[in-house]
């Protein structure tokens, strides 16, 4: 579980558009709050990576046309996209001029988001449907240090034709695989997915405060709810089995995406109450009984927080000095690449 958990108010018991202002009766006061993770500590990052890993593994069991790809950005593309991201936004479906000054890692991720959106639009225009995808950003370490994307695309084409089309429609730089020989060995399997999802949880030793962005189509792994394993997860009160069995036979918690698909709101609430009644907490892989005292839990959390920080993971507090230093360094690098890109653009024009 998260090393910096928070309790936030449960919107179900607030007046919202969803409930039309009709708040349901409260049967247990504990359900008026729900636990929320920080998203930055080692526990949160590992859980997110594990959830995506099993969702992708389940998805490729049904959708067998998955292909691995890496998308890169040239200096010219970085320069053009930076100008577009910082000077235009969409408003009510129309492009209007505005002035922004995005820099650092925020700019990197906005460039990737904008590029994938444009790529998807061009693909849809040609093939009458969006390209199904799961991509994650990474910052380069050798050469340009530019942002790039690793991930999976699901397409019904022969491998050689697929990558030729992707590079033609991508337009922002080169792609991998490059050669025909490489393209014959880029099928997606458990090893490929493990390689990609490690970027979700790992800390970049060079860009220590950078948080990668996942860009994905909706419904990845949705096929799981129709499997035999999902039938094992059917709601049975206190006897409900909320575990997912991995290929190695290990049991892990269901990803939130599947829990929301398998259980309705009332069932999820009852499962949450069951967990609270167990008076057990999991920290760093350890099961801790909190029925009599919180001492062991608090000491374990304290230890795991120190370990998490030493490994470079974030906390619920912002490291302003470190973030500001990395932001300034990234701005200098970005401006250097943008300047080079503009020179190339001017030369080509």
Residues 57 and 33 in one domain: no
Q: Which domain holds residue 28?
A: 1-38
Residues 109 and 172 in one domain: yes
Classify residue 90: in a domain, yes or no: yes
Phi-psi region of 63 (alpha: psi -120 to 50; beta: other; left: phi over 0): beta
- The neighbouring-strand residues paired with 245 are 251
Residues 210 and 105 in one domain: yes
Burial 297-322 (b: 16+ CB within 10 A, else e): beebbeebbeebeeeebbeeeeeeee
What crossing angle do the helices spanning 42-62 and 190-201 adopt, rounded to 10°? 150
Classify residue 18: in a domain, yes or no: yes
Residue 290, number of CB atoms within 10 A of its CB: 14
Residues 133 and 211 in one domain: yes
Classify residue 266: in a domain, yes or no: no
The pLDDT tens digits along the chain (349 residues) read 899 988 888 888 888 888 788 888 888 888 888 888 989 999 999 999 999 999 999 999 999 999 999 999 999 999 999 999 988 666 655 666 677 889 999 999 999 999 999 999 999 999 999 999 999 999 998 777 899 999 999 998 766 678 889 999 999 999 988 666 665 656 799 999 999 999 999 999 899 889 999 999 999 999 999 999 999 999 999 999 999 998 888 899 999 999 999 999 999 999 988 988 888 999 998 999 988 888 999 999 999 999 999 998 988 665 556 677 677 777 766 777 787 787 777 766 5
Q: Which two structure tokens, joined as six digits, stand for 165?
A: 């089309």
Number of domains in the chain: 2
3-state class of 206 per DSSP?
coil
* C-beta separation of 181 from 157 below 8 A: no
Residue 283, number of CB atoms within 10 A of its CB: 21
Strands of the chain (E only): list them.
Answer: 6-9, 33-36, 66-71, 88-91, 94-97, 132-139, 147-154, 175-176, 214-216, 243-245, 251-253, 280-283, 286-289
Residues 59 and 206 in one domain: yes
Residues 59 and 92 in one domain: yes
* C-beta separation of 150 from 135 below 8 A: yes
Residue with tokens 């030369």: 347
Residues 30 and 172 in one domain: no
List of residues 6+ apart from 191 with CB closer than 8 A: none
Domain boundary pick from 192, 220, 248: 220
Residue with tokens 């080169």: 174
Classify residue 106: in a domain, yes or no: yes
Classify residue 321: in a domain, yes or no: no
What are the distances in angstroms from CA 156 to CA 3, 159, 191, 324? 43, 9, 22, 45
Classify residue 333: in a domain, yes or no: no
Residues 6 and 75 in one domain: no
Domain boundary pick from 204, 220, 236: 220
Residues 57 and 17 in one domain: no
* C-beta separation of 192 from 113 below 8 A: no
Residues 26 and 135 in one domain: no
| The Cα angle at residue 116 between residues 111 and 118, in degrees rounded to 5 | 95
Classify residue 208: in a domain, yes or no: yes
Residues 53 and 172 in one domain: yes
Classify residue 68: in a domain, yes or no: yes
Residues 175 and 60 in one domain: yes
pTM: 0.87
CA dist., res. 97 & res. 10, Å (int): 38
């Amino acid at each position: 579980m998260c090393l910096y958990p928070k309790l936030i108010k449960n919107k179900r018991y607030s007046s919202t558009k969803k409930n039309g202002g009709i708040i349901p009766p409260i049967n247990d006061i504990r359900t008026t709050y729900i636990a929320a993770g920080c998203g930055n500590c080692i526990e949160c990052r590992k859980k997110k990576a594990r959830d995506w890993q099993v969702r992708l593994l389940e998805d490729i069991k049904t959708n067998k046309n998955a292909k691995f790809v890496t998308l890169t950005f040239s200096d010219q593309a970085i320069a053009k996209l930076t100008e577009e991201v910082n000077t235009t936004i969409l408003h009510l479906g129309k492009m209007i001029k505005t002035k922004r000054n995005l820099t650092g890692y925020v700019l990197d991720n906005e460039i990737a988001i904008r590029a994938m959106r444009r790529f998807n639009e061009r693909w849809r225009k040609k093939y009458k449907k969006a390209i199904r995808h799961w991509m994650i950003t990474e910052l380069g370490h050798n050469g340009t240090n530019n942002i790039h994307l690793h991930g999976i695309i699901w397409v019904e084409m022969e491998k050689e034709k697929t990558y030729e089309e992707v590079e033609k429609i991508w337009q922002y730089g080169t792609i991998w695989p490059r050669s025909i020989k490489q393209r014959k060995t880029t099928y997606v399997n458990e090893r490929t997915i493990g390689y990609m999802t490690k970027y979700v949880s790992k800390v970049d030793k060079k860009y220590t405060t950078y948080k990668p962005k996942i860009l994905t189509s909706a419904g990845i792994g949705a096929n799981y709810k129709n499997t035999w394993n999902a039938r094992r997860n059917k709601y049975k009160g206190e006897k409900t089995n909320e575990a997912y069995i991995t290929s190695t036979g290990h049991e892990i918690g269901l990803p939130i995406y599947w829990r929301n698909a398998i259980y309705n709101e009332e069932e999820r609430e009852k499962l949450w109450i069951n967990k609270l009644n167990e008076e057990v907490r999991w920290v760093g892989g350890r099961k801790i009984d909190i029925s009599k005292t919180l001492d062991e839990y608090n000491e374990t959390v304290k230890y795991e927080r120190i370990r998490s920080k030493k490994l470079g993971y974030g906390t619920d507090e912002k490291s302003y000095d470190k973030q500001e230093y990395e932001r300034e360094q990234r701005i200098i690098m970005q401006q250097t690449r943008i300047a080079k890109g503009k020179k190339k653009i001017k030369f080509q024009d």
